């Protein structure tokens, strides 16, 4: 299964908006436009593996995956801050579109450079 960059961003934005300090969100109860429940589960699983979210994960005997997300980690917030702005994200995706695949780290680094360039333009540097 392919990891969808838009789904990563949209899921993190959703979690930031909907998580509170003492609650958990079940991925199976999250509904986001354009994404199947399987794609959301896969994305959440990869965000967990990347250290961007804290969650409870269980695979049942039926191979059904349950993910209860409790929080976004500091690294997850840093990544989200790099891709939060729509203009930055669109420009980042445009720059990276010439490559067949890029890691989450490359997406974050590229977005950071895009932001830096935008700031430098604002400062007239």
Give the global pTM: 0.89
Helices (H), 19-103: 37-49, 74-83, 86-96
Instruction: Give the span between the Cα atoms of 103 and 118, in whole angstroms.
Output: 23
What percent of the chain has a predicted confidence (pLDDT) above 70? 100
What percent of the chain has a predicted confidence (pLDDT) above 90? 76
Give the pLDDT confidence score for residue 92 in this predicted structure.
95
Give the pLDDT confidence score for residue 90 in this predicted structure.
95
Look over the chain and give the mean of its residue pLDDT values, rounded to a whole number: 92
Domain boundaries, the chain: 5-74, 80-123
Instruction: Give the span between the Cα atoms of 123 and 125, in whole angstroms.
Output: 6
Given a cut of 80, whether residue 125 has pLDDT beyond it is no
Fold adopted by 5-74: Arc Repressor Mutant, subunit A (1.10.10)
Instruction: Give the span between the Cα atoms of 3 and 77, in whole angstroms.
Output: 19
51-93 pLDDT, tens digit per residue, is 999 999 888 878 788 899 999 999 999 999 999 999 999 999 9
Q: How much is the average pLDDT of 5-26?
A: 94
Give the pLDDT confidence score for residue 22 in this predicted structure.
87
**pLDDT band, very low/low/confident/very high, at 18 (cuts 50, 70, 90):** very high
């Amino acid at each position: 299964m392919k990891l969808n960059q838009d789904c990563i961003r949209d899921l993190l934005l959703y979690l930031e908006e909907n998580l509170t300090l003492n609650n958990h969100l079940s991925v199976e109860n999250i509904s986001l436009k354009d994404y199947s429940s399987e794609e959301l589960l896969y994305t959440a699983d990869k965000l967990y593996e990347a250290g961007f979210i804290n969650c409870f994960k269980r695979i049942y005997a039926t191979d059904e995956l349950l993910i209860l997300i409790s929080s976004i980690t500091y690294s997850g917030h840093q990544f989200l801050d790099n891709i939060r702005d729509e203009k930055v994200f669109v420009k980042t995706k445009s720059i990276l579109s010439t490559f067949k695949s890029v890691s989450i780290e490359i997406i974050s680094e590229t977005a950071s450079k895009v932001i830096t360039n935008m700031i430098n333009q604002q400062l007239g540097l």
